[in-house]
Amino acid sequence: MDRIFPRIFALGDIAWDILLRPEEPLVFGSDVPGKAEFTPGGSAANFAVWAACLEAEVLLQGKIGDDRLGKMMEEHLARKKVGLHLQIVTGAGTARIGAVVSLQGERAFVMDKPTSLAFSLGDFEPTCLDGRDLFFFTGYSLFTPSSLLFIQRILEEARVRKVPIAFDPASFHLIEGYGPQELLERICPVDFLLLNEDEARKLALADTKTLLRHSKIVVLKQGLRGSTVFSRLGEWHVPSQPAPVLDSTGAGDAFDAAFLVEFLRTGDIPSSLRKANRLGAYVVSHYGGQPDGDWARALNVDDT
């Protein structure tokens, strides 16, 4: 059978990550040894790069500044074979995210994103959905009033065209600030809802299965306990792939890419979960949220 190359339209944040990896607990007012690294990031960009590596045809829409960092990001994404629909904002700085990685591999973010990089209704271009098998976006795309109107317009067009929709809330803190019920009412229904356990608790309060009122397929990322899919046709769980945890930055984005690309190709939920668990495990065992080194051989992505 010919190999299927899904066509995905991804939308959202594009940023540079400043990773701070202290080797000892932080001491405010003093210093500790560690590493500081500058790497490409942003949840939508991470997703797009991984999906392209997994041989999807990806079109990424996002905003960057007209600074040197924006040019570097544009060149980086082109090298990764991501199709680009970038909007360059005059006078703006490209988004930067400070990420402090704990000794246990968990991270905390400080976002430096100018408001001029937010989407607005005028950014809508329906041709981005032409011929696409999926529209993917994250919660970082819609937490301003103008960007919400923009996202709602794309969702409306995607539903008219019957393009499946995938949404990852991306941050339980942002969910709290927006309001869980209002968020679900404004963006749902969707076809795929991909979230971790903290985000699921914020959105569903108690029972993850209640989210099936808002999404045909709910994908729950459970870290060391693996991942689970809930759908109206059944429930599937796949255990985690063992891996040392060095840095969890971007692991959820990579998981999303692996699950969705495999599902679009095969429709096989257990296989999609295995692929996603494997890629997530690879990412947490390395620093940074995008591919580096011989990831394909280490991951053995063709093994189902």
Beta partners for 97? 17, 111
- Alpha-carbon 227 to chain mean position: 16
> What residue spans define the domains of the chain?
7-13+42-92+114-299
Residue in 161, 207, 202, 206 with CA at minimum distance from that of residue 183: 202
Kind plus residue range of the DSSP H or E element containing 112: strand 107-112
For the chain, what is the mean pLDDT?
Answer: 87
Beta pairing, strands 15-22 & 34-41:
antiparallel
DSSP, collapsed to helix, strand or coil, labels residue 145 as helix
Q: What is the pLDDT of residues 64-117, one digit of tens each?
A: 999 999 999 999 999 999 999 999 999 999 999 888 877 776 778 888 888 889
Q: Are 123 and 129 in contact (CB under 8 A)?
A: no
CATH code given to domain 7-13+42-92+114-299 = 3.40.1190.20
Percentage of residues in the chain having pLDDT higher than 90: 55
More confident residue, 38 or 153: 153
Residue 93 and residue 253: Cα distance in Å, rounded? 24
pLDDT at 301: 46
Q: What is the pTM of this model?
A: 0.90
| Confidence at 296, pLDDT banded by 50, 70, 90 | low
Whether the per-residue pLDDT at 236 is higher than 90: the answer is yes
pLDDT digits (tens, 9 = 90+) for 194-230: 999 888 888 776 577 778 989 999 999 998 899 999 9
d(Cα 240, Cα 254) in Å, to the nearest integer?
Answer: 14
Rounded Cα distance between 56 and 3, Å, is: 11
Tokens 């990089």, residue?
117
How many CA atoms lie less than 13 Å away from 132 in the CB half-sphere? 27
Nearest partner of 86 among 56, 105, 66, judged by Cα: 66
**Mean pLDDT of all residues in 122-133:** 95
* 228, containing H or E segment: strand 227-231
